[in-house]
Structure 1
């Protein structure tokens, strides 16, 4: 049995998006020849909400080490709120102790807290242990360089400079790469030619079916996050917002606005609910979808809630919607991590995506959604969305006949197997 030490600063009960690959894989590593231990940050240092239900489906035998972090209330005064920077020194100290006393074949970083990744280079030099990085998002991204200042993330200049300096430290020694997007890997290869010879694999997040089974058995624990009226047709989106999704949002709202103009009696019963659109701490998120509705004069039909909701609450919300929407980024490399719960919810699904995104390919493979390309001529996209919304207003849209055998290839167990196959390649490369 080979041993992998997983670095994931956010972990249940912290309600963070970037820990779900590890959370879903933990039940299966051992069946593919790998014994996993985890090093995470003590939840008391998290600025993200806590959800005890996330501890469901975590195997009891998994050893989880916790490290400390500098207090968020103090460090934010200096502009350092990132848990990666707050825990970096503590990670170095604790993992040094672990690696001195125990043997591990591999270190696996699965997080979007990128500054921590430089420790892979350090531990590799000190303990001769290879490391693999899971690229769930771009690290040093140039996407926002030509965007207006008001559309850039908070502290963009500082993050940009920091990432530009730190990314090479990790990539110049990394032994394997996993990514949710081929585009992320292509970008890294263009920057670091050595990566061409490094084992790589595109592996999406996948789905743990036990999550859905648990929600169905415990529906009494959950609530609606919007007012549901009998005459309304409620379209629901659960996931992040952002200025890079403006094109998809405008296409949707243009078609809806045309419907209000030409067929008001039907379209006026449609409502759009966008839930959990910000990664900011509770109560501090900035809406990015509702302002577009304001500009277009349709505020009365649009609800945006920036606060994140728990995994199981999001599953319940998706399952109880009249219809679902997936919005995609203008950046073709972006892939939504929540595509699979949308499919499992078995509701009518409209996806407005970049045609080259991996989310588009997954939905096509599974025949799970009506897909609108954000790159198609605007009048064509508007007409297609209009027709979909009109059918929805008549309650005549049905769920697609999902290709479930194709969907099963994205199960957490199968995708964990792919991770372990890449780990094996790293050891023999």
Structure 2
């Protein structure tokens, strides 16, 4: 059995989106030849909400180490709030401590807190340990360079320059890359010729069925956010201006049918929940202003506050139908689609035509998935009509796709990459 040391600053009970791949993979690593251990940042230092139900999905035998971090209340005065920067020194010390008594075949960085990945280069140079980086998002990117200041992330000037400096430190020595997008891998290999021939694999997040059971067992713990007097169409996930091209066709089609006097469609309500990454109560709406602009504000409810993962699953179950919009970034792939696909609800999805999501959903058998350049008012109106004129039949997904995109299969794919990155040694 080979040993895998996983670096994931956010980890249960912290409800961070970037730990979901690891959380869903942990039950399957051992069956594929890898004994996994995790180093996380102690939740008391995290700046995200906690969800202790997440712990129910973690196998009891998994060894989890916790490290400290500098307190954000102190470092934020210097403009440094990132948990990666606050925990970097503590991670270095903990890994050094472990290596005094244990031997690992691979270090796996699975996080969007990318600065910690530079430790891979340090420990490879000092101890000869191979490392793999999971690119769930781009690290250094010029996507926002031509965007208005209001659309750029907070502290963009600093993070852009820091990422440009740190990324090559980690990437020039990496032994393997996993990514949710083919484009992320090709961009990195073009940017860093030294890694052109290292093992790489595009592996999306997977669908993890045990989560639905945990959610159902605890459904009474969550408030119902939906109004049962309406037919509720729900999207849960981040908002932002980059989502507007995918949402605009929906709102325009809704406006058109309402203007045509179809009173029954006034019973539709569109919920956009958890659209901001800001602390609860401080988020700025990014969807409801668009709804006002397009004249459908009365039909749209935006809740900027994030909700817990299992509250998300229960809310998706309570919805009458689901809507998933994609980013205008052609490299964007939405790993969030799998909880939707675990929920047998009518589903409408609109993405950039270059997004891998479109093909994945078609593989599943989702009938109403479109790109925002060619989707028509008639396409969307047909979706509205099916909701109003009766209960649509639950979708019947293709069994082959369900297995192909399961968390179990995605873990198998990761372990194959690990084997390649370590030269297949036992």
Fold shared per TM-score above 0.5: yes
Q: Which residue of 1 is the match for residue 340 of structure 2?
A: 342
Matched, 1:227 2:227: yes
SS state at 2:201 partner: strand
Q: Which residue of 2 is the match for residue 315 of structure 1?
A: 313
Distance 2:335 2:367 in 1: 16
In the alignment, which of 388, 408, 417 is matched to residue 412 of structure 2?
417
Distance 1:115 1:173 in 2: 15
Q: Which residue of 1 is the match for residue 376 of structure 2?
A: 381
Alignment of 1:28-67 (within 5 A): 28-67=28-67
Q: Which residue of 1 is the match for residue 357 of structure 2?
A: 359
Distance 1:424 1:398 in 2: 43
Once the two structures are TM-superposed, the CA of residue 233 in structure 1 deviates from its matched residue by 1.2
SS state at 2:377 partner: helix
Does structure 2 conserve the Cα–Cα contact (< 8 Å) formed by 1:259 and 1:390?
A: no
Alignment of 1:187-266 (within 5 A): 187-229=187-229, 232-266=230-264
Distance 1:173 1:356 in 2: 30
Alignment of 1:132-171 (within 5 A): 132-171=132-171
Matched, 1:407 2:408: no
RMSD: 1.4
Matched, 1:12 2:12: yes
SS state at 2:59 partner: coil
Does structure 1 conserve the Cα–Cα contact (< 8 Å) formed by 2:173 and 2:195?
A: no
Once the two structures are TM-superposed, the CA of residue 139 in structure 1 deviates from its matched residue by 0.7
Q: Which residue of 2 is the match for residue 299 of structure 1?
A: 297
Q: Which residue of 2 is the match for residue 391 of structure 1?
A: 386
Distance 2:253 2:394 in 1: 21
SS state at 1:428 partner: coil
SS state at 2:15 partner: coil
Q: 1:405 to 1:223 in 2, by over 3 A?
A: farther
Distance 2:246 2:291 in 1: 13
Distance 1:47 1:139 in 2: 20
**Structure 1 stretch displaced more, 72-81 or 292-301:** 292-301
Q: Please list the CA deviations of residues 255-311 of structure 1 after superposition, one character each: whole Å capped at 9, or x if unmatched.
A: 111111013312211110011112222222222111111222322211111221111
In the alignment, which of 361, 366, 369 is matched to residue 368 of structure 1?
366
| Over 4 Å off, 4+ runs | none
Alignment of 1:79-94 (within 5 A): 79-94=79-94
Once the two structures are TM-superposed, the CA of residue 222 in structure 1 deviates from its matched residue by 2.6
In the alignment, which of 311, 328, 331 is matched to residue 330 of structure 1?
328
Q: Which residue of 2 is the match for residue 26 of structure 1?
A: 26
Distance 1:350 1:422 in 2: 34
Does structure 2 conserve the Cα–Cα contact (< 8 Å) formed by 1:222 and 1:313?
A: yes
For normalisation by structure 1, the TM-score amounts to: 0.96
Q: 1:369 to 1:320 in 2, by over 3 A?
A: farther
Q: Which residue of 2 is the match for residue 275 of structure 1?
A: 273
